[in-house]
Amino acid sequence: MAAPIATIPVIKKGPGLSRKLLYPLRFSPIYQYTLWGGRRLANILSAPLPTGPIGEAWILSDRDDHASRVTNGAYKGQTIRQLFEEFPEQLMGRLAKHFHRFPLLLKFLDAREMLSLQVHPSDSDTQLLPMGESGKTEAWVVLETGKESRIYAGVKPGTTANDLRLSLTNGTVAEHLRCVNPKPGDAVFIPAGTVHTLGDAVVFEVQENSDVTFRLSDWDRVDANTGQPRELQVDKALDCIDFGESSAGLTAPVVETTTHVKRERLVQCDHFQLWRLRGQSPFTVGAEGVPRILLCIDGVGQILHGGVTHPVGKGDVFLLPAELGVSAFQPRGGVTLLEIAIPDPKTGTQ
Local confidence band at 226 (pLDDT 50, 70, 90 cut-offs): confident
CA 75 → CA 3, 20, 138, 292, distances in Å?
22, 9, 29, 18
CATH architecture of the domain with residue range 253-341: Sandwich (2.60)
Choice between 1 and 304, residue whose per-residue pLDDT is larger: 304
Give the CATH fold of the 26-250 domain.
Jelly Rolls (2.60.120)
* 314-338 per-position pLDDT tens digit: 999 999 999 999 999 999 999 999 9
> Side chain identity at 267, as an amino acid letter?
V
> Side chain identity at 138, as an amino acid letter?
E
Q: Provide the Cα torsion 232, 240, 185, 105; round to 10°.
A: -80
pLDDT above 70 as % of the chain: 93
Among 348, 309, 296, 223, which residue's Cα sits nearest to residue 27?
296
Q: Using CA atoms, how far apart are residues 200 and 177, in angstroms rounded to an integer? A: 17
Half-sphere exposure of 119 (CA within 13 A, CB side): 26
- Which pLDDT score is estimated for 348? 66
pTM of the model: 0.92
Q: What is the mean pLDDT of residues 152-175?
A: 96
Local confidence band at 6 (pLDDT 50, 70, 90 cut-offs): very low
The pairing of beta strand 262-268 with beta strand 273-279: antiparallel
- Which pLDDT score is estimated for 17? 42
Q: Is-same-fold flag (26-250; 253-341)?
A: yes
pLDDT of 1 strictly over 80: no
CA 312 → CA 114, 116, 250, 330, 332, distances in Å?
32, 34, 29, 10, 10
Q: Using CA atoms, how far apart are residues 262 and 280, in angstroms rounded to an integer? A: 10
74 Cβ partners below 8 Å, 6+ apart? 8, 20, 23
* 276-288 per-position pLDDT tens digit: 999 999 999 999 9
136 Cβ partners below 8 Å, 6+ apart? 120, 121, 192, 207, 208, 210, 211, 212, 213
pLDDT of 84 strictly over 50: yes
Among 179, 50, 52, 37, which residue's Cα sits nearest to residue 108?
37
- Which pLDDT score is estimated for 334? 95
Residue spans per domain, the chain:
26-250, 253-341
Give the catalytic positions in this structure: 215
Q: Provide the Cα torsion 209, 211, 216, 217; round to 10°.
A: 120
232-250 burial, b for 16+ CB within 10 Å, e for fewer?
bbeebbbebbbbeebebbe
* 228-281 per-position pLDDT tens digit: 899 999 999 999 999 998 999 999 999 999 999 999 999 999 999 999 999 999
Half-sphere exposure of 94 (CA within 13 A, CB side): 14
Q: Using CA atoms, how far apart are residues 312 and 316, in angstroms rounded to an integer? A: 6
* 30-50 per-position pLDDT tens digit: 999 999 999 999 999 999 999
Q: What is the mean pLDDT of residues 19-32?
A: 92
pLDDT of 119 strictly over 80: yes
176-209 burial, b for 16+ CB within 10 Å, e for fewer?
bbbebebeeebbbbbbbbbbbbbbbbbbbbbbbb
- Main-chain dihedrals φ then ψ at residue 259, nearest 5 degrees: -85, 120
For the chain, the distance separating the N- and C-terminal CA atoms, rounded to the nearest angstrom, is 35
- Which pLDDT score is estimated for 249? 97
pLDDT of 113 strictly over 80: yes
Q: What mean pLDDT value characterizes the chain?
A: 93
Local confidence band at 149 (pLDDT 50, 70, 90 cut-offs): very high
Q: Using CA atoms, how far apart are residues 139 and 120, in angstroms rounded to an integer? A: 13
